[in-house]
Amino acid sequence: MEEGRLTNLRTLIVGGCPSLTTLSLSIKHLTALENLIIEDCEELSLTDNEENQDLKLSLRLLKFDNLTKLEVLPQQEATTQLEKLSKVQTIIFKTEQFASLFEASITRFKYLRVLDLSKSSFKVLPSSIGSLKHLRYVNLSSNDIIKQLLDSICKLHSLQTLLLGGCSNLERLPKGIRDIISFRFLVVTTKHTCLSEKAVGCLDSLQSLWMYECENLKCVLEGMEEGRLTNLRTLGVAECPSLTSLSLSIKHLIALGNLIIWYCEELSLTDKEENQDLKLSL
């Protein structure tokens, strides 16, 4: 493809092409290209060879899903290619192994606003993530290896959404999470029996809280005092088989408009002592 063609093309999607091995150097002529989405191209490699060594695009969105060959490249080669996309604002890597390659070049993405590493396998989120001051959305869901979030994530003062559903071995949220003043939406999976007031009660700006696939969870917001989570509008509890009752503390959620509960087989909302005063303006 020659220069001057497809000058208005903003989105390029390549999916289900198992024989594709490289991206043509011609796509550098797509001057308006903002979104590059590549899925299920098992043989695709973005190596630093003659065909794509000059592949420099000003993308805003980059999505890689099931690029098997790319995952097993030497880290230096893959990192070199990622560094050429330093102006990207949205990165979606839905693979098990690719997060380690991203880790090596994370500081290059200084304009990043959306980061989706769901289904990845890493134990600790890189501490350098704290340097991404524009980051608003982080999805780490379905990672059953990660055990903790480092305090560096608390430096993301623009962060609005954090998705940790399916992170079944996550031990705790960092103490400094209260410093994220723009925090709006949290999905969490905990292995503890209770998601206490100490864990999330300090999130004064939080508007939506979801607890998902918490196998051991028996209580929600136990011990929460009046004046906490005053902006919480939606509380969701899903697939928590050990949950038996809702804590009386949720009556303090004065802004709560939506209470969503499903697949909590042991939950009882009968008029017994601990919830007889549970009156909400839903």
CATH number assigned to the domain comprising residue 228: 3.80.10.10
Q: Are residues 110 and 127 in the same domain?
A: no
Predicted TM-score of the model (pTM): 0.82
Whether 225 and 269 share a structural domain: yes
Asked if residue 271 and residue 132 are part of one domain, the reply reads yes
Does 86 lie in the same domain as 156? no
**278 alpha carbon, distance to own chain's centre:** 33
Q: Using one digit for the tens of pLDDT, what is the confidence trace for 230-243?
A: 899 999 999 999 99
Interatomic CA distance for residues 137 and 118, integer angstroms: 12
Mean pLDDT of the region 17-33: 79
Tell me the C-alpha distance between 180 and 63, whole Å.
Answer: 27
Higher pLDDT, 112 or 69: 112
Helix (H) or strand (E) holding 187: strand 185-188
Q: How many CB atoms lie within 10 A of CB 21?
A: 12
Same domain? 178 vs 102: no
224 compared with 241, residue with greater pLDDT: 241
Three-class DSSP category at 120: coil
Per residue in 173-192, is it b (16+ CB within 10 Å) or e — as a string?
beeebbebeebbbbbbbbee
Closest alpha carbon to 268 in 219, 195, 200, 204: 219
Structural domain count of the chain? 2
Q: Mean pLDDT across the stretch 138-148?
A: 90
Q: Tell me, yes or no, whether 97 and 146 share the same domain.
A: no
Domain boundary (93, 116, 139) is at 116
pLDDT of residue 162: 96
In this structure, the answer to whether residues 182 and 260 fall within a common structural domain is yes
pLDDT value of residue 135: 95
Average pLDDT over residues 115-137: 87
152 and 111 in a single domain? The answer is: no
pLDDT of residue 123: 81
Q: Is 249 helix (H, G, I), strand (E, B) or coil?
A: helix
Query: Does 128 lie in the same domain as 85?
Result: no
Strands annotated E in the chain: 11-15, 35-39, 61-65, 90-94, 114-116, 137-139, 161-164, 185-188, 194-195, 208-212, 219-220, 234-238, 258-262
| In a shared domain, residues 8 and 147 | no
Q: How far apart are CA 160 and CA 240, in angstroms?
A: 25
pLDDT at 141: 93
Q: Do 165 and 50 sit in the same domain of this protein?
A: no
**Domain with 103 in it:** 1-116
Domain boundary among the residues 101, 116, 131 is at 116
pLDDT interval class at 48 (50, 70, 90): very low
CA distance linking residue 89 with residue 145, whole number of Å:
27
Give residue 140's pLDDT band: very low, low, confident or very high (50, 70, 90). Answer: very high
Contact present, 91 and 62 (Cβ < 8 Å): yes
Residues 6+ apart with CB under 8 A from 177: 153, 154, 183, 202, 203
Q: Are residues 220 and 192 in the same domain?
A: yes
Domain boundary among 116, 142, 169: 116
Distance, CA of 204 to CA of 228 (rounded, Å): 7
pLDDT tens figures, 161-208? 999 999 988 888 888 888 888 999 999 998 888 876 667 877 889 999
